[in-house]
Amino acid sequence: MIGIDDIRAAQDRIGGRVRRTPVIEASELKTPVADGAALTLKLELLQVTGSFKARGATNRLLATPPDILANGIVAASGGNHGLATARAGHMAGVQATIFLPGNVSPAKVEKLHRWGAETVIVGSVWDEANAAALDFVEKTGAAYFHPFADPLVVAGQGTVGLELLDQLPEIETVIIAIGGGGLISGASTAIKALAPHVRIIGVEAEGSPTLKRSLEAGHTVTLDRVTTAVPTLACSRTDDRIYDLVAQNVDEIVLVSDAEMQDAAEWLWFEMGLAADLSGAAALAALQCGRIEVAAGAKICAIVCGAGPDGVMPPR
Protein backbone atom coordinates (compact mmCIF):
# COMPACT_ATOMS: atom_id res chain seq x y z
CA MET A 1 0.00 0.00 0.00
CA ILE A 2 2.70 2.48 1.12
CA GLY A 3 6.34 2.54 2.15
CA ILE A 4 8.73 4.92 3.87
CA ASP A 5 9.28 6.93 0.66
CA ASP A 6 5.52 7.64 0.43
CA ILE A 7 5.52 8.88 4.01
CA ARG A 8 8.52 11.12 3.41
CA ALA A 9 6.82 12.53 0.32
CA ALA A 10 3.71 13.21 2.40
CA GLN A 11 5.80 14.99 5.02
CA ASP A 12 7.27 17.26 2.34
CA ARG A 13 3.83 17.88 0.81
CA ILE A 14 1.98 18.81 3.98
CA GLY A 15 4.82 20.74 5.61
CA GLY A 16 3.54 24.14 6.70
CA ARG A 17 -0.09 23.04 6.32
CA VAL A 18 -0.29 20.96 9.53
CA ARG A 19 1.43 21.19 12.90
CA ARG A 20 4.47 19.41 14.23
CA THR A 21 2.83 18.37 17.48
CA PRO A 22 4.79 18.37 20.74
CA VAL A 23 5.73 15.52 23.04
CA ILE A 24 5.61 15.91 26.82
CA GLU A 25 6.78 13.76 29.70
CA ALA A 26 4.08 12.41 31.99
CA SER A 27 5.90 13.06 35.25
CA GLU A 28 5.22 14.27 38.81
CA LEU A 29 1.86 12.52 38.73
CA LYS A 30 -0.63 12.06 41.54
CA THR A 31 -1.63 8.71 40.05
CA PRO A 32 1.15 7.14 37.91
CA VAL A 33 0.05 4.73 35.20
CA ALA A 34 3.15 3.04 33.79
CA ASP A 35 4.74 1.22 36.77
CA GLY A 36 8.04 3.05 36.81
CA ALA A 37 8.40 3.35 33.04
CA ALA A 38 9.33 6.65 31.42
CA LEU A 39 6.07 7.72 29.77
CA THR A 40 5.87 10.39 27.08
CA LEU A 41 2.72 11.60 25.34
CA LYS A 42 2.63 12.62 21.66
CA LEU A 43 -0.02 15.35 21.52
CA GLU A 44 -1.87 14.84 18.25
CA LEU A 45 -4.93 16.31 19.96
CA LEU A 46 -3.16 19.65 19.39
CA GLN A 47 -3.11 19.04 15.63
CA VAL A 48 -5.19 21.36 13.43
CA THR A 49 -8.90 20.33 13.69
CA GLY A 50 -8.01 18.41 16.88
CA SER A 51 -6.57 15.12 15.60
CA PHE A 52 -3.97 13.39 13.46
CA LYS A 53 -6.61 13.07 10.72
CA ALA A 54 -5.58 16.48 9.37
CA ARG A 55 -2.34 14.93 8.15
CA GLY A 56 -3.98 12.34 5.91
CA ALA A 57 -6.77 14.57 4.61
CA THR A 58 -4.32 17.36 3.79
CA ASN A 59 -1.99 14.98 1.95
CA ARG A 60 -4.95 13.62 -0.01
CA LEU A 61 -6.09 17.14 -0.87
CA LEU A 62 -2.71 18.41 -2.03
CA ALA A 63 -2.12 15.34 -4.21
CA THR A 64 -5.53 15.62 -5.93
CA PRO A 65 -5.92 17.65 -9.17
CA PRO A 66 -8.29 20.63 -8.74
CA ASP A 67 -10.66 19.43 -11.47
CA ILE A 68 -11.40 16.28 -9.45
CA LEU A 69 -12.39 18.48 -6.50
CA ALA A 70 -14.76 20.67 -8.54
CA ASN A 71 -17.89 18.82 -7.36
CA GLY A 72 -16.90 18.98 -3.71
CA ILE A 73 -15.48 16.53 -1.21
CA VAL A 74 -17.31 13.75 0.63
CA ALA A 75 -16.31 11.62 3.61
CA ALA A 76 -17.85 9.30 6.16
CA SER A 77 -16.54 9.73 9.67
CA GLY A 78 -17.01 9.20 13.35
CA GLY A 79 -16.07 12.87 13.68
CA ASN A 80 -12.33 13.48 13.47
CA HIS A 81 -11.78 12.56 9.81
CA GLY A 82 -14.85 14.62 8.99
CA LEU A 83 -13.32 17.68 10.60
CA ALA A 84 -10.07 17.14 8.71
CA THR A 85 -11.97 16.75 5.44
CA ALA A 86 -14.06 19.85 6.16
CA ARG A 87 -10.84 21.81 6.62
CA ALA A 88 -9.57 20.37 3.34
CA GLY A 89 -12.74 21.60 1.63
CA HIS A 90 -12.18 25.04 3.12
CA MET A 91 -8.57 25.03 1.87
CA ALA A 92 -9.70 24.07 -1.63
CA GLY A 93 -12.68 26.42 -1.67
CA VAL A 94 -15.19 23.61 -2.32
CA GLN A 95 -18.15 22.19 -0.40
CA ALA A 96 -17.46 19.33 2.00
CA THR A 97 -20.28 16.92 2.86
CA ILE A 98 -19.71 14.64 5.84
CA PHE A 99 -21.78 11.53 6.61
CA LEU A 100 -21.84 10.59 10.30
CA PRO A 101 -23.33 7.85 12.50
CA GLY A 102 -26.02 8.73 15.01
CA ASN A 103 -23.68 8.53 18.02
CA VAL A 104 -21.34 11.26 16.76
CA SER A 105 -20.35 13.89 19.33
CA PRO A 106 -22.66 16.94 19.05
CA ALA A 107 -19.60 19.13 19.71
CA LYS A 108 -17.93 17.73 16.59
CA VAL A 109 -21.07 18.28 14.49
CA GLU A 110 -21.06 21.90 15.61
CA LYS A 111 -17.39 22.25 14.64
CA LEU A 112 -18.14 20.72 11.23
CA HIS A 113 -20.80 23.35 10.61
CA ARG A 114 -18.40 26.08 11.65
CA TRP A 115 -15.94 24.77 9.03
CA GLY A 116 -18.73 25.19 6.49
CA ALA A 117 -19.43 21.49 5.99
CA GLU A 118 -22.81 19.98 5.33
CA THR A 119 -23.58 17.04 7.61
CA VAL A 120 -25.80 14.00 7.11
CA ILE A 121 -26.54 11.66 10.04
CA VAL A 122 -27.02 8.07 8.84
CA GLY A 123 -27.14 4.76 10.71
CA SER A 124 -25.58 3.77 14.00
CA VAL A 125 -21.96 2.96 12.96
CA TRP A 126 -19.39 4.28 10.52
CA ASP A 127 -19.96 1.50 8.00
CA GLU A 128 -23.58 2.55 7.49
CA ALA A 129 -22.62 6.20 7.13
CA ASN A 130 -19.94 5.19 4.65
CA ALA A 131 -22.42 3.31 2.46
CA ALA A 132 -24.54 6.46 2.25
CA ALA A 133 -21.45 8.56 1.46
CA LEU A 134 -20.51 6.28 -1.44
CA ASP A 135 -24.05 6.50 -2.80
CA PHE A 136 -23.80 10.31 -2.63
CA VAL A 137 -20.48 10.21 -4.50
CA GLU A 138 -22.05 8.07 -7.23
CA LYS A 139 -24.86 10.59 -7.69
CA THR A 140 -22.84 13.81 -7.50
CA GLY A 141 -19.34 13.03 -8.76
CA ALA A 142 -17.81 14.53 -5.62
CA ALA A 143 -14.30 13.47 -4.57
CA TYR A 144 -14.34 10.78 -1.89
CA PHE A 145 -11.85 11.00 1.00
CA HIS A 146 -11.73 7.59 2.73
CA PRO A 147 -10.56 7.77 6.36
CA PHE A 148 -8.17 4.81 6.08
CA ALA A 149 -8.39 2.77 2.84
CA ASP A 150 -6.44 5.33 0.81
CA PRO A 151 -2.64 5.23 0.35
CA LEU A 152 -2.37 9.04 0.41
CA VAL A 153 -4.31 9.24 3.67
CA VAL A 154 -2.27 6.47 5.28
CA ALA A 155 0.99 8.08 4.15
CA GLY A 156 -0.14 11.35 5.71
CA GLN A 157 -0.90 9.63 9.01
CA GLY A 158 2.50 7.97 8.80
CA THR A 159 4.17 11.35 9.26
CA VAL A 160 3.30 11.01 12.96
CA GLY A 161 5.84 8.17 13.09
CA LEU A 162 8.56 10.21 11.40
CA GLU A 163 8.04 13.09 13.81
CA LEU A 164 7.97 10.85 16.84
CA LEU A 165 11.30 9.18 16.02
CA ASP A 166 12.87 12.58 15.45
CA GLN A 167 11.60 13.84 18.82
CA LEU A 168 12.19 10.61 20.78
CA PRO A 169 15.09 8.73 19.15
CA GLU A 170 15.51 6.44 22.19
CA ILE A 171 11.85 5.35 22.32
CA GLU A 172 11.26 1.63 22.89
CA THR A 173 7.47 1.19 22.76
CA VAL A 174 4.77 3.21 20.96
CA ILE A 175 1.06 2.76 21.78
CA ILE A 176 -1.50 3.72 19.13
CA ALA A 177 -5.32 3.67 19.09
CA ILE A 178 -7.07 1.85 16.24
CA GLY A 179 -10.37 2.64 14.53
CA GLY A 180 -10.11 1.65 10.89
CA GLY A 181 -6.34 1.35 11.16
CA GLY A 182 -5.03 4.30 9.14
CA LEU A 183 -2.93 5.81 11.92
CA ILE A 184 -1.33 2.61 13.17
CA SER A 185 -0.62 1.27 9.67
CA GLY A 186 1.03 4.52 8.57
CA ALA A 187 2.92 5.28 11.78
CA SER A 188 4.12 1.69 12.24
CA THR A 189 5.38 1.58 8.65
CA ALA A 190 7.51 4.67 9.30
CA ILE A 191 8.75 3.51 12.69
CA LYS A 192 9.63 -0.05 11.70
CA ALA A 193 11.42 1.14 8.54
CA LEU A 194 13.73 3.39 10.56
CA ALA A 195 13.80 1.72 14.01
CA PRO A 196 12.70 -1.92 13.63
CA HIS A 197 13.45 -2.68 17.29
CA VAL A 198 10.66 -0.37 18.51
CA ARG A 199 7.64 -2.27 19.81
CA ILE A 200 4.29 -1.13 18.34
CA ILE A 201 1.16 -1.84 20.40
CA GLY A 202 -2.31 -1.18 18.99
CA VAL A 203 -5.38 -0.48 21.13
CA GLU A 204 -8.93 -1.23 20.00
CA ALA A 205 -12.26 -0.84 21.73
CA GLU A 206 -13.62 -4.10 23.19
CA GLY A 207 -16.78 -3.42 21.19
CA SER A 208 -14.90 -3.09 17.88
CA PRO A 209 -11.91 -5.49 17.83
CA THR A 210 -11.63 -5.39 14.03
CA LEU A 211 -7.90 -5.83 13.54
CA LYS A 212 -7.34 -8.05 16.58
CA ARG A 213 -9.91 -10.54 15.28
CA SER A 214 -8.47 -10.28 11.77
CA LEU A 215 -4.94 -11.04 12.98
CA GLU A 216 -6.24 -13.99 14.98
CA ALA A 217 -7.98 -15.32 11.84
CA GLY A 218 -5.00 -14.66 9.58
CA HIS A 219 -7.06 -12.52 7.19
CA THR A 220 -9.42 -9.54 7.19
CA VAL A 221 -12.74 -10.35 8.84
CA THR A 222 -16.04 -8.48 9.22
CA LEU A 223 -17.38 -8.21 12.76
CA ASP A 224 -20.93 -9.43 13.31
CA ARG A 225 -21.61 -6.54 15.68
CA VAL A 226 -19.97 -3.28 16.72
CA THR A 227 -21.02 -2.36 20.25
CA THR A 228 -18.63 0.40 21.31
CA ALA A 229 -20.25 3.78 21.83
CA VAL A 230 -17.04 5.53 20.70
CA PRO A 231 -17.79 6.54 17.10
CA THR A 232 -14.18 7.29 16.19
CA LEU A 233 -13.18 3.71 17.05
CA ALA A 234 -16.20 1.91 15.58
CA CYS A 235 -15.48 -0.05 12.39
CA SER A 236 -16.73 -3.52 11.45
CA ARG A 237 -14.14 -4.21 8.74
CA THR A 238 -10.77 -2.76 7.82
CA ASP A 239 -9.15 -2.70 4.38
CA ASP A 240 -7.08 -5.70 3.22
CA ARG A 241 -4.09 -3.44 2.58
CA ILE A 242 -4.34 -1.96 6.07
CA TYR A 243 -4.45 -5.51 7.45
CA ASP A 244 -1.26 -6.39 5.56
CA LEU A 245 0.64 -3.39 6.97
CA VAL A 246 -0.56 -4.09 10.50
CA ALA A 247 0.29 -7.80 10.25
CA GLN A 248 3.78 -6.85 9.11
CA ASN A 249 4.55 -4.03 11.53
CA VAL A 250 2.42 -4.23 14.70
CA ASP A 251 3.64 -6.41 17.55
CA GLU A 252 0.45 -6.72 19.58
CA ILE A 253 -3.13 -5.44 19.82
CA VAL A 254 -4.94 -5.10 23.14
CA LEU A 255 -8.51 -4.17 23.98
CA VAL A 256 -10.00 -1.59 26.34
CA SER A 257 -13.58 -0.91 27.36
CA ASP A 258 -15.48 2.32 26.80
CA ALA A 259 -15.50 2.88 30.56
CA GLU A 260 -11.72 2.45 30.74
CA MET A 261 -11.29 5.04 27.99
CA GLN A 262 -13.57 7.38 29.92
CA ASP A 263 -11.42 6.97 33.04
CA ALA A 264 -8.28 7.64 30.98
CA ALA A 265 -9.78 10.78 29.44
CA GLU A 266 -10.59 12.06 32.94
CA TRP A 267 -7.02 11.22 34.03
CA LEU A 268 -5.58 13.18 31.10
CA TRP A 269 -7.65 16.22 32.04
CA PHE A 270 -6.93 16.04 35.78
CA GLU A 271 -3.23 15.13 35.64
CA MET A 272 -2.12 16.76 32.39
CA GLY A 273 -4.72 19.40 31.53
CA LEU A 274 -5.38 17.67 28.21
CA ALA A 275 -8.91 17.57 26.79
CA ALA A 276 -8.94 14.28 24.87
CA ASP A 277 -11.83 12.43 23.28
CA LEU A 278 -12.23 8.75 24.14
CA SER A 279 -10.21 7.56 21.15
CA GLY A 280 -7.48 9.99 22.16
CA ALA A 281 -7.44 8.40 25.62
CA ALA A 282 -7.38 4.80 24.37
CA ALA A 283 -3.59 4.37 24.36
CA LEU A 284 -3.35 5.71 27.90
CA ALA A 285 -6.25 3.47 28.99
CA ALA A 286 -4.33 0.37 27.91
CA LEU A 287 -1.46 1.37 30.21
CA GLN A 288 -3.73 2.36 33.09
CA CYS A 289 -5.50 -0.99 33.04
CA GLY A 290 -2.36 -3.10 32.80
CA ARG A 291 -3.06 -4.46 29.32
CA ILE A 292 0.54 -3.76 28.28
CA GLU A 293 3.60 -5.25 29.97
CA VAL A 294 6.21 -2.60 30.69
CA ALA A 295 9.54 -2.90 32.45
CA ALA A 296 10.74 -0.37 35.00
CA GLY A 297 12.57 2.41 33.21
CA ALA A 298 11.21 1.45 29.78
CA LYS A 299 10.79 4.35 27.37
CA ILE A 300 7.14 4.42 26.24
CA CYS A 301 5.16 6.85 24.10
CA ALA A 302 1.36 6.92 24.02
CA ILE A 303 -0.18 8.90 21.15
CA VAL A 304 -3.05 11.09 22.35
CA CYS A 305 -4.68 11.14 18.95
CA GLY A 306 -7.84 13.24 19.31
CA ALA A 307 -9.30 16.19 21.22
CA GLY A 308 -12.72 16.39 22.86
CA PRO A 309 -14.57 17.26 26.04
CA ASP A 310 -15.07 13.67 27.27
CA GLY A 311 -12.70 13.94 30.22
CA VAL A 312 -13.60 17.56 30.99
CA MET A 313 -17.37 17.08 31.12
CA PRO A 314 -17.82 13.38 31.95
CA PRO A 315 -21.31 11.85 31.75
CA ARG A 316 -23.23 11.86 35.02
**Which domains, from first to last, does the chain contain?**
4-52+150-304 (3.40.50.1100), 53-144 (3.40.50.1100)
Distance CA 255, CA 18 (A): 30
pTM value is 0.97
Judge whether 55 and 160 are in contact, CB under 8 Å. yes
Per-residue pLDDT, 86: 98
Rounded to the nearest 10°, the torsion over CA 99, 102, 108, 114 is 50
Per-residue pLDDT, 314: 82
Its sign, for the CA torsion 149, 150, 156, 158, is: positive
CA 45 to chain centroid: 10
Distance CA 54, CA 279 (A): 15
Mean pLDDT value of segment 122-140: 96
Give the tens place of pLDDT for each residue, 283-314.
Answer: 999 999 999 999 999 999 999 999 999 999 88
Per-residue pLDDT, 315: 77
Distance CA 314, CA 316 (A): 6
Distance CA 272, CA 265 (A): 10
Distance CA 49, CA 33 (A): 28
Give the tens place of pLDDT for each residue, 217-262.
Answer: 999 999 999 999 999 999 999 999 999 999 999 999 999 999 999 9
Give the tens place of pLDDT for each residue, 68-126.
Answer: 999 999 999 999 999 999 999 999 999 999 999 999 999 999 999 999 999 999 999 99
pLDDT at residue 204 tops 80: yes
- pLDDT class of 316 with cuts at 50, 70, 90: low
Mean pLDDT value of segment 51-67: 98
Distance CA 137, CA 141 (A): 5
Give the tens place of pLDDT for each residue, 158-183.
Answer: 999 999 999 999 999 999 999 999 99
Distance CA 157, CA 161 (A): 8
